Structure 1
Amino acid sequence: MGHRVSQDALADDLSALPEPYTIGDPGRSYGEIGGNEPLAEPAPPDTVCDAFDFGGWAVRAASVRGLSHRYDGSVRQDAYAVRYSAGTGRLVVAVCDGVGSAPHSHVAAAAAADFLVDELVGVDLEVSEPFWTGLFRDASEHVNAVARRHGVKDGTLADVRNLMATTALVAVIDTAAEDNWTVTCAGVGDSSLWLGRTDRSPGAPASWSALLGGKTPSTDVTSTTTSALPISKHTAVEPLQVILESAAVLLLCSDGIGDALGDGTNQVARTLGDQWASPPTALNFAAQASFGKRGLFDDRTGIAIWSPRP
């Protein structure tokens, strides 16, 4: 006979019950906005999530449609991609956040995420501005080609961006030693990369350190806040390389999560740090990434990578 758990017990155990998941005051919108009516044409699912566990590593990924898109009936515009080469031990992940003002940005986000990880999983990696600028220009050409299939006829950069545009953040982890790993990352736009620890001393509050991204001014803008693919010919993309130690968690996320983390020490950062001290299930990771909190309405996308413990 299967073991039965009471609903009251489930309601008290967030590890067993994915929803509802809130941090602080969720606001009325979290409880009142539903899924709206189905769309009349194919669209990305409201929620996607994945879990991978291999060689001591754990990866959790999720993308969830935000309340604003549920309210107005528009699609989830974020996307992510994960690739792994068992032969080389290389892990490549990407997070892309479609620019909301362009109606087909969800198409650009999915296309850019897949293109970047597919290109990087088997290439001879370089830590140089020309290599990464060239990669993101190739990704831009890929988005341009996708835009042409959606009706843009040899248009200008502005023509493409009026139809589709996306931020892009990608990270590559290569095996370097038994107790640390090289992470090379780069991006355009306000998606962000964070580092946390899973071996804090008892009672120590969780916190996150921002490594890359966030809302920064740029001359290569599609709105007042973010740069995006396709990039202009004047844009240079600088890589960042860091060492990931054991018992660490690396988080790539769209601004729907990144903005809420603040300086990495606020209530959201501490709560997610506690929840992600160890890898949750894929469904719980998605629920936690889409936590309810007043004033947060955007799509949420995150990829968390837990390094092996010693």
Structure 2
Amino acid sequence: MSLKWWRGPREEPSAATAGPASPAGPSGSGATAPEPADAPDTQQDGTGTHDTHSAEVVTAEQGVGFAELPTEAPRTGPLSPLPAPLLTGLPTGLPGMRADGGLLRGRWIAAASLTGTSHLLHGTSGQDVYRYTATHDGSGLVLVVCDGLGSRPATAQTGAGLLASYLCEAAAHITGQRMAEVPQDVLREVLATGNAAVRRHRAAVLEPLTDSDLAATVAVCWLPLPAEGEGEDEGVARHALTGHAVRVGDCNVFTLARGRYEAPFPAASEGPANVVTAYLPCEDPARVAEYAPVALAGVDAVVVTTDGLAIDLFDSPSVRTWLASRWSVPCGPARMLDSLRYRRQGSHDDRTALITWSAPLDHIPRLEP
């Protein structure tokens, strides 16, 4: 069992239950507190909930001589001013911000990962990693997110990076025919292959580290693509409007359709959940893996997240509204980064989202030869 984060009981947020901001703990986040239903410093408009004084807010947090671009991302609940972020001195540290946006096999993919304020306050590394690939036979896209456990601050991000890369390498060999027949078995095989590769790497290169030193939670999502030369309608019918996902631990998958979210995997159980018992690498990945089909009928986008963002989506109406508005269209990398710049009382963990939109882009400009 490994310490990861602590969260309070799930309930509909209300102003009466909102308390003071919670300090971040050494494990990577503070308590998740209920948020006010109508925070005084936000308002609703056609683009979702946003801060009405973003320029002033950013200026107020710039007391140490650095400048940042303003944002309309919401601020929810009583919040303290942010101190200067501390960078990690670890050679295994990850960059504090990562973002991507572009086409892969005709589908737009965007991703962003921000180091949580708990890490920035203590000068430790973020531990979220995302990867994506397309299968060699062109049958599908593969989206992977991994989250290293905060109880291993010097090494778990290394495990998350290795696991994400090895999983993508294994998933690239998935065939559409096998996914149509035994999708659950295929994705469990991918987990087993990636798990074994990380353990071999550890034994060959990273001795005397143990499996728990590299422990990470993970979600893998396979989404169908129409065959080359096949029309979009034919492709949709051929794949029965279903994707497939597997996870170990508390990463999650969401579908977004007309501003509404659905989650194939359930939310974490109510009450304290600062102990994670399922992670990779381990002796028996099949025992800890969870599988879920991903219904794609009418879906605008599929979002794969680590737990820091998943908790906010489950628990915060203002975050759900804000992200639905930002993700209503395919995002470039700067827009993806800005979408995760909201502040919410009790939200201190790393935030990572990896998204693909269902429809191909109508117009793709080409450079002149």
Give the 3 Å change call, closer, same or farther, for CA 63–20 of structure 1 in structure 2.
Answer: same
Tell whether the 8 Å contact from 2:245 to 2:291 is kept in structure 1 after alignment. Answer: yes
Give the 3 Å change call, closer, same or farther, for CA 291–261 of structure 1 in structure 2.
Answer: same
Q: Which residue of 1 aligns with 2:265?
A: 212
**Could you give the per-residue CA deviations for residues 210-234 of structure 1, whole angstroms, max 9, x where no partner exists?**
11254259xxxx9624521123427
Give the 3 Å change call, closer, same or farther, for CA 213–46 of structure 1 in structure 2.
Answer: farther
Give the 3 Å change call, closer, same or farther, for CA 226–88 of structure 1 in structure 2.
Answer: same
- Map 1:190-209 to 2 at 5 A: 190-197=250-257, 200=258, 206-209=259-262
Tell whether the 8 Å contact from 2:146 to 2:216 is kept in structure 1 after alignment. Answer: yes
Q: Which amino acid aligns with 2:232?
A: E
- Map 1:117-136 to 2 at 5 A: 117-124=168-175, 125-126=178-179, 127-136=182-191
Q: Which one of the candidate residues 83, 91, 115 is aligned to 1:33?
A: 83
Tell whether the 8 Å contact from 1:172 to 1:183 is kept in structure 2 after alignment. Answer: yes
Secondary structure of the structure 2 residue equivalent to 1:239: strand
Q: Which amino acid aligns with 1:283?
A: A
Which whole-Å CA distance do the structure 1 matches of 2:253 and 2:149 have between them?
Answer: 19
Shift of 1:102: 1.5
Q: Which one of the candidate residues 280, 291, 294 is aligned to 2:331?
A: 280
Q: Which one of the candidate residues 48, 59, 80 is aligned to 2:98?
A: 48
Which is further off, 277-286 or 234-243?
234-243
Secondary structure of the structure 2 residue equivalent to 1:119: helix
**Could you give the per-residue CA deviations for residues 15-71 of structure 1, whole angstroms, max 9, x where no partner exists?**
xx9644532326545x42332145153521111110013566321111111000011
**Could you give the per-residue CA deviations for residues 264-289 of structure 1, whole angstroms, max 9, x where no partner exists?**
x7221122111111123211211212
Which whole-Å CA distance do the structure 2 matches of 1:85 and 1:164 have between them?
Answer: 27
Sequence identity (%): 22
Q: Which residue of 2 aligns with 1:242?
A: 294
Q: Which residue of 2 aligns with 1:140?
A: 195
Give the 3 Å change call, closer, same or farther, for CA 150–26 of structure 1 in structure 2.
Answer: farther
Larger Cα-atom Rg: 2
Which whole-Å CA distance do the structure 2 matches of 1:178 and 1:297 have between them?
Answer: 41
**Could you give the per-residue CA deviations for residues 222-272 of structure 1, whole angstroms, max 9, x where no partner exists?**
962452112342715343233424561111001111000116x72211221
Q: Which residue of 2 aligns with 1:152?
A: 208
- Whether 1:96 aligns to 2:146 is yes
Tell whether the 8 Å contact from 1:193 to 1:213 is kept in structure 2 after alignment. Answer: no
Which whole-Å CA distance do the structure 2 matches of 1:251 and 1:307 have between them?
Answer: 11
Give the 3 Å change call, closer, same or farther, for CA 303–213 of structure 1 in structure 2.
Answer: farther
Tell whether the 8 Å contact from 2:71 to 2:341 is kept in structure 1 after alignment. Answer: no
Q: Which residue of 1 aligns with 2:222?
A: 172
Which whole-Å CA distance do the structure 1 matches of 2:193 and 2:130 have between them?
Answer: 18
Q: Which amino acid aligns with 1:96?
A: C
- Whether 1:183 aligns to 2:258 is no
Which whole-Å CA distance do the structure 2 matches of 1:246 and 1:147 have between them?
Answer: 43
Extract unaligned runs of 5+ from structure 2: 1-53, 57-67, 363-369
Which whole-Å CA distance do the structure 2 matches of 1:25 and 1:244 have between them?
Answer: 31
**Could you give the per-residue CA deviations for residues 65-108 of structure 1, whole angstroms, max 9, x where no partner exists?**
10000111111100000112575152111011111101311011
Q: Which amino acid aligns with 2:320?
A: A
Give the 3 Å change call, closer, same or farther, for CA 249–40 of structure 1 in structure 2.
Answer: closer
Shift of 1:131: 3.6
Tell whether the 8 Å contact from 1:214 to 1:255 is kept in structure 2 after alignment. Answer: no
Tell whether the 8 Å contact from 2:115 to 2:351 is kept in structure 1 after alignment. Answer: yes
Q: Calculate the aligned-residue CA RMSD, in Å.
A: 3.2
Q: Which residue of 2 aligns with 1:68?
A: 118
- TM-score, normalised by the number of residues in structure 1: 0.78
Secondary structure of the structure 2 residue equivalent to 1:212: coil
Extract unaligned runs of 5+ from structure 1: 1-9, 154-158, 201-205
Tell whether the 8 Å contact from 1:96 to 1:109 is kept in structure 2 after alignment. Answer: yes
Which whole-Å CA distance do the structure 2 matches of 1:58 and 1:245 have between them?
Answer: 18
Shift of 1:132: 3.2
Which is further off, 36-45 or 111-120?
36-45
Give the 3 Å change call, closer, same or farther, for CA 119–57 of structure 1 in structure 2.
Answer: same
Aligned residues: 280
Tell whether the 8 Å contact from 1:95 to 1:252 is kept in structure 2 after alignment. Answer: yes
